[in-house]
């Protein structure tokens, strides 16, 4: 027979099939999202646009994703909707169709806006369900969820190189197959979430209503400001790599578009690996130490990368991506622990802020590249991980959680 301690261990275990379905949904969603940036070199050639307009496209996409995320999280915190994830994927699928066939800048902006809205719906809702399904191992659960997105983002550019680059932009339509697979992955998640909500409605006392903040209101606000600085430093450097890394490699080393996508794939794989490590390590040793090491620890790699040849550049980009990406699961869980009764809103806020910083940074860096050259972007952005020093001001929440 299972004793009381055994029952507690079982109820603390994550709901693995749901976590895997959420990870698969995140993988397929972010695979579709990554098509946008991976097709940039073809889009630049097709429409005859400059780096500033590439930055504008990224800005519209990132702002659509960022502005709507905390709104979606807040609305569904108050009124949960079982089918929110499929609804977001519908918007993404429409955007992919428009992106494949629009031949004007306004049409492309509309396409990436629709894709951004789809992302804004999936991330806060899926992150909320991940936290619920993860139970007592929420760091592990978030890493499983996040690594799915990173893996999808990593294979997206590779599939673009194999499917789209040898032909034309219309071949982006083939990616609708992945949208269909995503709908299939979301079905068990919707069923589980519906069951969870029914159980909650039948319960008189909900644990989340009795949850208390681990810090005072003033200290909570101060801590959130510190986290925003850390996200700012992380995503400026990430924007330089995700949006302009292929252009940098082509310009500095004279490689082909297809080969540049391979090197982009190496970088994005590193972000998936780092994400998988960040959550479990945070569960064991605390979120603060992971945040501290991952952001500030990226600086040696970022500072050296602009000054080396092609192969060392690929190695350093892998090291930088691995180190820096381990921060986000820890940051997200740290923020959720600050506001345990607003999981959707806080998830949407930080997902959205990260998207917004990335979008603004891409637009600014695009203009910077047009004026000073693409290599100057990397000489400048190499210093942004040094902002990770502010993590020293984060309070340790492990000893401040109140029952």
Tell me the per-residue pLDDT of 3-46, one tens digit each, with 9 for 90 and over.
444 434 433 445 788 999 999 999 999 899 888 888 888 888 88
Can you read off the two tokens belonging to residue 313? 């550049």
Distance, CA of 202 to CA of 204 (rounded, Å): 7
d(CA 186, CA 14): 18
Closest-CA residue to 382 (of 283, 300, 269, 280):
300
Residue 390 and residue 229 in contact, taking contact as beta carbons nearer than 8 Å: yes
Task: Pick the closest to residue 28 from 113, 141, 151, 128 (CA basis).
Answer: 151
Nearest to 153 by CA among 273, 259, 32, 70: 32
CA distance 311 to 380: 21
Chain center to CA of 272 = 10
What is the C-alpha radius of gyration for the chain, rounded to an integer number of angstroms?
Answer: 21
Angstrom distance (rounded) from CA 109 to CA 375: 27
| Between 209 and 255, the higher pLDDT residue | 255
Residue 75 CA to residue 168 CA, distance in Å, equals 40
Using the predicted structure, report yes or no on whether residue 2 has a pLDDT greater than 60: no
Structure tokens belonging to residue 299: 């600086």
Spatial distance between the Cα atoms of 64 and 126, rounded to a whole number of angstroms: 18
Q: What is the distance between the alpha carbons of residues 87 and 57, in angstroms, rounded to a whole number?
A: 23
Which pLDDT score is estimated for 311? Answer: 93
Quote the DSSP letter at residue 37.
H
* CA atoms within a 13 Å half-sphere pointing along the CA-CB vector of 145: 31
Averaged pLDDT of the chain: 82
Longest CA–CA span in the chain (Å) reads 71
Find the range with the poorest average confidence among 93-102, 243-252, 280-289, 302-311: 280-289
Residue 140 CA to residue 22 CA, distance in Å, equals: 13
Are 264 and 282 a contacting pair, CB within 8 Å?
no
pLDDT attached to residue 1: 38
Quick one: which of 181, 177, 143 has its CA closest to 331? 143
| Residues listed for the chain | 403
> How far apart (Å, rounded) are the C-alpha atoms in residues 380 and 375?
9
d(CA 321, CA 278) in angstroms, rounded, equals 12
CA separation for the pair 133, 127 (Å, rounded): 10
How do the domains of the chain map onto residue ranges? Answer: 17-195+215-393
Name the token pair of 161.
Answer: 């190189």
Q: Is the pTM of this model over 0.75?
A: no
193 by Cβ neighbours in 10 Å (0-12 / 13-18 / 19+) ranks as buried
CA distance 139 to 146: 10
* CA–CA dist 213, 215 (Å, integer): 5
Task: Encode pLDDT of 292-350 as tens digits.
Answer: 888 888 999 999 999 999 999 999 999 998 998 888 788 888 887 887 777 777 777 77
Range 17-195+215-393 classified under CATH 3.40.50.2020: no
Contact 244/297 with Cβ under 8 angstroms? no
Q: Once rounded to an integer, what is the mean pLDDT over residues 199-219?
A: 66
């Amino acid at each position: 027979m299972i004793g009381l301690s055994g029952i507690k261990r079982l109820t603390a275990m994550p709901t693995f099939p749901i976590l895997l379905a959420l990870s698969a949904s995140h993988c397929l969603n972010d695979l579709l999202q990554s098509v946008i940036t991976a097709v940039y070199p073809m889009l630049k050639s097709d429409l005859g646009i400059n780096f500033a307009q590439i930055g504008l496209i990224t800005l519209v996409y990132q702002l659509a994703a960022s502005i709507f995320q905390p709104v979606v999280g807040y609305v569904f915190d108050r009124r949960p909707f079982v089918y929110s994830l499929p609804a977001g994927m519908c918007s993404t699928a429409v955007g992919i169709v428009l992106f494949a066939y629009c031949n004007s800048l306004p049409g492309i902006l509309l396409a990436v806006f629709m894709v951004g809205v789809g992302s804004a719906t999936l991330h806060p809702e899926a992150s909320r369900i991940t936290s619920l399904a993860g139970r007592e191992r929420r760091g592990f659960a978030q890493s499983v969820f996040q690594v799915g997105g990173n893996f999808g983002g990593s294979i997206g550019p590779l599939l673009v190189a194999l499917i789209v680059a040898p032909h034309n932009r219309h071949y982006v339509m083939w990616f609708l197959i992945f949208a269909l697979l995503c709908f299939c992955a979301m079905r068990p998640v919707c069923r589980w979430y519906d069951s969870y909500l029914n159980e909650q409605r039948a319960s008189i006392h909900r644990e989340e209503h009795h949850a208390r903040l681990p810090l005072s209101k003033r200290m909570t606000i101060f801590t959130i400001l510190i986290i925003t600085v850390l996200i700012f430093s992380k995503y400026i450097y990430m924007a330089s790599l995700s949006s302009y890394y292929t252009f940098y490699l082509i310009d500095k080393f004279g490689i082909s578009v297809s080969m540049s996508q391979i090197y982009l794939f190496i970088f994005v794989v590193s972000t998936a690996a780092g994400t998988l490590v960040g959550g479990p390590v945070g569960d064991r040793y605390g979120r603060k130490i992971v945040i501290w090491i991952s952001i500030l620890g990226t600086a040696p790699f970022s500072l050296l990368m602009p000054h080396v040849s092609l192969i060392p550049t690929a190695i350093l980009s892998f090291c930088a991506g691995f180190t820096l990406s381990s921060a986000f699961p820890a940051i997200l869980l740290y923020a959720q622990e600050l506001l345990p009764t607003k999981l959707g809103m806080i998830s949407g806020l930080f997902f959205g802020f990260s998207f917004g910083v990335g979008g603004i940074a891409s637009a600014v860096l695009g203009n910077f590249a047009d004026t000073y050259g693409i290599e100057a972007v990397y000489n400048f952005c190499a210093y942004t991980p040094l902002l990770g020093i502010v993590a020293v001001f984060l309070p340790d929440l492990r000893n401040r959680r109140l029952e």
